[in-house]
Amino acid sequence: MTNKIAVAASAVRINDHIYSGTGTNDHPTFAWETVTEVRVEDGLILLITGNLKGPHGEFWFEPDEEIVVIRYPEPAAVRAPLPKAHAKHGH
């Protein structure tokens, strides 16, 4: 399950998806890009999508500016199975 939520730009996390507009493709799902890096530069929040060495997007925001992101839930921590209790017959 995914959640579309509004957060301050300073609360955006890596792997959140941000809307980058329709660009050259009219299909709306292609307009959401994955945040791969979050930086603070000159008091602004810089969100980078894609690979820095290749084609990427840069989005600049004020730290308290509200933006909508799609955030996937954190994967559940893998827990070791509980040991099975030995059934003892009390006599």
What is the model's pLDDT at position 57? 86
In the chain, which residues have pLDDT < 50? Answer: none
What is the model's pLDDT at position 51? 74
Residue 14's domain comprises 3-71
Answer whether residue 76 is part of any domain: no
Of 54, 49, 61, 63, the residue nearest 18 (C-alpha):
49
- The number of distinct structural domains making up the chain is 1
Answer whether residue 65 is part of any domain: yes
Distance between CA atoms of residues 13 and 36, nearest Å: 9
What is the model's pLDDT at position 26? 59
Answer whether residue 40 is part of any domain: yes
Answer whether residue 47 is part of any domain: yes
58 with 48: CB under 8 angstroms? Answer: yes
What is the model's pLDDT at position 20? 76
pTM of the model: 0.69
What is the model's pLDDT at position 85? 66
